[in-house]
Structure 1
Amino acid sequence: MKIDKGISHPIHPHHKLKLEYTEVPFNCDGCKEAGIGLKYKCQKCEFDLHKSCAMAPPSFTHKFYNKCVFQFLYRPPGEIRRYCDACRKDVQGFVFHCRRCGFDLHPCCANLPQVLEDGQCHLRLCTKLSSTCHSCGGKEPGWAYRSECNTYNLHVSCVKELLVESWQAMYLNVDKNKLRELQTRIPSLRGTLQNHHGGGRGGGGRVKKCCEIAGGAVRIIVSAILGDPTALIAAVIGGFISR
């Protein structure tokens, strides 16, 4: 039987880090982004790393940027404020950076799969949307997942925002009405699907089915963003879509 002796990491050299699974959200001490599921944790102090941060390669290339070579850095380069070109969120810690082009990627964003498939949903990662995001209603820059039938689109950044806000409501003892308020953040999806399928006889069943599929889409996007989230957290976010 193989015993996990842990790993050493340069930014936490005094203690070993062991791989574990958690259903409680954590902040990664490497990239400073939220996480859940598999992580490397110090057993002696409060120090956590996403698996993708702990095991990041020195460099890599990405399909979306075929002229770039991304180098792994422990902190953002230079003095100016930098943001991830995938999720458009600030880069505050570990980052993959292309010195030639100036692009930056959070380690978790760099590992997002090109295609997500759960049997019903087929979602493809893209660098921009041709139609609006069902969460924010816009086409702002940033990566997004688009369904094969183009019925629904979701920015990676929008899913991240919903995750963080829902976790704050559930785990940080903020206003108990927070979860209810978050449910209004995607108010137009049902109406969008209603218009897409028509409001006549039989339309309700099709709308319900599409809402269920859309909820499933969010759940597998959540899985991609965070690696291995609990079904509870994923279901909360999926519920925003299907209501």
Structure 2
Amino acid sequence: MLHHPLHLDHPLKLLPNSPYPKDRSCLCDACRQPWNSFVYHCYRCNFDLDILCAFPQGKLEHPSHEHLLTLVQRIASFACDACGTKEEQQSYICTACTFWIHRSCALLPTINHRKPHQHPLSLAYCFPIEYRRYEIPCDICFKKIPFQNWLYYCGPCRYFVHLKCMTNDRILPSRRGMHGPKGNQRKNSFGFYRCGTKQKTRLLTNASFNKEDEEDLVQLPTNDFVQEIRHILEKKQGLEIVRVPKKVQVSCCQHTLAIVDIQKLIKSRNVERITCNRCIEPVVSLCCQCTRCNYFVHLTCAQLPEELQHPSHEKHKLKLAFVSYVWGMIKRSACNLDCNGYLFKCDTCRLYTFDVKCALLPSTIDHKAHEHSLVQTYRGDGNKCNSCGNVVRSFLYACEPCGFYLNYECALLPESVNHRWDKHTLPLSFPPFSDRPDEFYCEICEEEIHPRRWHYHCRECDQSFHPRCIPGLGVTRNCNFGRILEFGRHPHPLKLVREGEYRSTCDSCHERMYGNRVFKCETCQFYICIKCVARVADSGKVAGPAKISEWCV
């Protein structure tokens, strides 16, 4: 029996094991840490003291402080100078200055381990100076770590953890047990293990979430979004998608479309790829073609509904529309990217405009970058996207308990891409990155890549690329290029291309066209930018959706 100053009401009895059931951990009331072996316990009050707290060290020399620290026997509530939190427990105080820390923080080991990270973590008494130029959050709770607080970190992996996140197993408020057993760890492209079974969180929605819903979730990232479109149309929209329809005809084209093998067509035309005019995704197998209109569409996209009910706009249905003017560019409501092809829009409100992929995305998705399901919400509230770091002010996917946010643009990034500067396929990589002590630099723009930002990386060649720097993944990734324009007195047709040649300039405003969308004459190397075409069109010199009647500089 022990009469202790922290519990004067009753004597404490020494027990060899925890007095609680196996599913409940024994927490020391002094340091608030779990304890499973010998413990002093009060049966009346359920008060517990571990051995170290029952007989604490009165004086302590700590490497974080220059003066001798004194133990305060009485439990007090204060803001700890180590972890930054305010809790009631024993503490060490400096009588020479205002330094005051929790006793549990003072006894933390300098080297610690935490699953699923595979390297030992070092205790730092402030945020390391060499990493302060980045905004790096905690890898457990995704919240900011103040520079003056203690933390555990792994330098080579740029892995940082709050003290409290290191010592406590985080339980999400919506569901317990989201972090799965060791056998369910998942490996990313850099060999780093992320913990967790694919448990589902139900946030921002009142819809029921059953086992069937879990199996029907869209899996991102993917290189075959057309398959996900088919899945959504069949499971969510209740449509019957015919694998190979006998006859295909779409609203924007009055001709009957023929079903062709796209691979033979690519070889005959000597082009790298052909994209679908509706979803702007590459066509890899059978597709529908109109030879008169030079129109290509996936078999699935040809069966898109003419009207769609979107969860963010329940008042009216969104109608499938087409940007008829070849120079027209519309910025979408969800991903905020430009679109010059097919879209779903509300004709009544004129506020909601989605491209095909954004309009079909469901309210809940699975993404390999996060262990929990992400739920759609319609107000960003200034949260930063965990992929690109940009502030999201419109549509996004979120895991609120973890503070994980993802905008539509990053959610739809492909799983892997190819680039002419690397002979290997580049997988999309997520942080934290294991066994990579050096900085990442984009091979195209030569800028340093933030260690918390997604990028495409080749491990064999050690080359990294910003998604925005890869052609086809920037702001023009959903633009339909190759559209033809007849422009004024110019004798040749102009083709809309992704960018002009090096040192090319617009023949109207003389701005450089390298890296910018431009209409190009492949016969005489004549260039004119979209802004100049739109300016002429606004002046009334329009003879049709693909023809400008006069050119006035």
Query: 1: CA distance between counterparts of 2:415 and 2:424?
Result: 14
Partner of residue 72, structure 1: 376
Matched to 1:226, the amino acid is R
Matched to 2:441, the amino acid is T
- Quote the RMSD (CA, aligned, Å): 3.6
The structural deviation recorded for 1:29 is: 2.0
* Cα distance change, pair 87–51 in 1 and its aligned pair in 2 (3 A): farther
Partner of residue 139, structure 1: 449
Partner of residue 154, structure 1: 465
Query: 2: CA distance between counterparts of 1:52 and 1:115?
Result: 18
Where does the alignment leave 5 or more consecutive residues of structure 2 unmatched? 1-248, 252-304, 434-438, 483-495, 503-513, 516-553
Query: 2: CA distance between counterparts of 1:9 and 1:144?
Result: 31
The structural deviation recorded for 1:117 is: 3.6
Identity %: 21
Given that 1:30 and 1:94 are in contact with CA atoms closer than 8 Å, whether structure 2 keeps it comes out as yes
Partner of residue 384, structure 2: 83
Matched to 1:73, the amino acid is T
The structural deviation recorded for 1:149 is: 4.9
Query: 1: CA distance between counterparts of 2:385 and 2:321?
Result: 26
The structural deviation recorded for 1:73 is: 0.8
* Cα distance change, pair 234–146 in 1 and its aligned pair in 2 (3 A): farther
The structural deviation recorded for 1:83 is: 1.2
Q: Report the secondary structure of 1:226's partner residue.
A: coil
Partner of residue 322, structure 2: 20
The structural deviation recorded for 1:15 is: 5.1
Q: Deviations over 1:27-82 (max 9, x none)?
A: 22234x123244323456644213333112121111121x2210011113xx5x20
The structural deviation recorded for 1:109 is: 1.3
Query: 2: CA distance between counterparts of 1:109 and 1:85?
Result: 9
Query: 1: CA distance between counterparts of 2:359 and 2:344?
Result: 7
* Cα distance change, pair 236–92 in 1 and its aligned pair in 2 (3 A): farther
Q: Report the secondary structure of 1:101's partner residue.
A: coil
**Is the aligned partner of 1:219 residue 2:471?**
yes
Matched to 1:125, the amino acid is L
The structural deviation recorded for 1:221 is: 3.1
Partner of residue 406, structure 2: 105
**Which has the bigger relative contact order, CA under 8 A and spacing at least 6?**
1
The structural deviation recorded for 1:227 is: 3.8
Query: 1: CA distance between counterparts of 2:473 and 2:459?
Result: 14
* Cα distance change, pair 27–221 in 1 and its aligned pair in 2 (3 A): closer
**Which of the two has greater helix per residue?**
1
Q: Report the secondary structure of 1:57's partner residue.
A: coil
The structural deviation recorded for 1:11 is: 4.0
Given that 1:219 and 1:237 are in contact with CA atoms closer than 8 Å, whether structure 2 keeps it comes out as no
**Is the aligned partner of 1:230 residue 2:539?**
no
Q: Report the secondary structure of 1:68's partner residue.
A: coil
Q: How many residues align?
A: 176
Query: 2: CA distance between counterparts of 1:28 and 1:135?
Result: 27
Is the radius of gyration larger for structure 1 or structure 2? 2
Q: Report the secondary structure of 1:16's partner residue.
A: strand
Where does the alignment leave 5 or more consecutive residues of structure 1 unmatched? 160-217
Matched to 1:131, the amino acid is F
* Cα distance change, pair 16–62 in 1 and its aligned pair in 2 (3 A): closer
